[in-house]
Amino acid sequence: MRVSIYSNDGSTSNEVASQLKEKIDNSSKLQYDGLNPQIVISVGGDGTLLSAFHHYNDSINNIRFVGIHTGHLGFYTDWRDYEVQQLVDSLENDNGQSVSYPLLSININYKDGGPSDSMVALNESTLKRINGTMVTDINIKNEFFEKFRGDGLCVATPTGSTAYNKSVGGAIISPEFDAVQVSEMASINNRVFRTLGSPIIIPPDEWITIIPDNPYHNILTCDQLVVQNRPIQSITYSISNDRIYFAQYRHTHFWKRVSNSFIGVHDND
Ligand code: NAP
Ligand code: MN
């Protein structure tokens, strides 16, 4: 089985990555292959896993991810830094077991007449403005829904619902649902201006289009990346046809993951 390691630059991560590399090189069942891997092991935190996902974006359907966490939160990561040998044992006994989660599809049309862009997010995409109020139309399935005024909008996947989405008051959604959630950031609500004020969740056969009044001054993000600065005509969000696959050698139930990450360790565990 072809395995790649994607590590951040921390000293613990470097140490774990070199241990892993040595064990892979010494295994008759595993080959290191950074270009065309079947398994990508991310070593670091969630940010590292997000970077690994974007690095291997083009071959996402042929890859299963595994996350080792070396500090930080590690919501996406099932393995700890001291479990390298157990992970290698699991890789050697791999029988293709996997779990998959929905992704967010982002289609951007620009006002400069240039080609449109499409990309996929694992956590979320945001559209924000910092030098003034962001004013956009929000359409659902091509029908006008509302005029938004405020700091920005956050459009999240179920596994991303515990990240930025949570900070802006979105609900946590189990990734058993194929859903996209749109949350407001500091919307202006008064006698003159009105938005819905609550997060909305759309199913797989619906899509959301955001049309900024001003094509300039908006910051568009896709996970930890800022998308290049071209004048935006519209952005359409929907559930991607692609999914992310994780090698599932051990199963951490989603709600257990949430409670471990946000509530902490229970005495009676
Ligand atoms: P970061 O600043 O390290 O990320 C912020 C925190 O979010 C970190 O503790 C990170 O975990 C955690 N995180 C990332 N994905 C998560 C998920 N799906 N569920 C629960 N927690 C998650 O930056 P980063 O590591 O490059 O991650 C980029 C992400 O940061 C973005 O996709 C966005 O979701 C989030 N973000 C949040 C805010 C906010 O809440 N106000 C603002 C900007 C970005 P690790 O420590 O393990 O990396
Ligand atoms: Mn991080």
User: Closest residue (by CA) to atom 40 of ligand 1?
Assistant: 164
pLDDT in tens, 55-110: 999 999 999 999 999 988 889 999 999 999 999 999 999 999 999 999 999 999 99
Dump pLDDT digits (tens) for 103-134: 999 999 999 999 999 999 999 999 999 999 99
Residue 150's pLDDT is 98
46 carries an active-site annotation:
yes
State residue 266's pLDDT score. Answer: 60
Question: Which pLDDT belongs to residue 264?
Answer: 87
Residue 258 pLDDT greater than 90, yes or no: yes
Beta-sheet strands, E only, within 84-217: 98-110, 117-121, 124-128, 134-140, 143-156, 180-187, 200-202, 208-212
Residue 269's pLDDT band, with cuts at 50, 70 and 90, is low
How does 203-226 read in b/e, with b if 16+ C-beta sit within 10 Å?
eeeebbbbbbeeeeebebbbbeee
Residues 135-191 pLDDT 10s: 999 999 999 999 999 999 999 999 999 999 999 999 999 999 999 999 999 999 999
DSSP string across 117-134: EEEEESSEEEEE-SSS-E
Q: What spacing in Å lies between the alpha carbon of 48 and ligand 2's midpoint? A: 7
Residue span(s) of the chain under CATH 2.60.200.30 come to 102-241
* CATH 3.40.50.10330-classified regions of the chain: 2-97+248-263
CATH 2.60.200.30 fits 102-241, yes or no: yes
Q: Which CATH number describes the domain made up of 2-97+248-263?
A: 3.40.50.10330
* Predicted pLDDT at 53: 98
Cα(183) to ligand 1 centroid in Å equals 16
DSSP 52: H
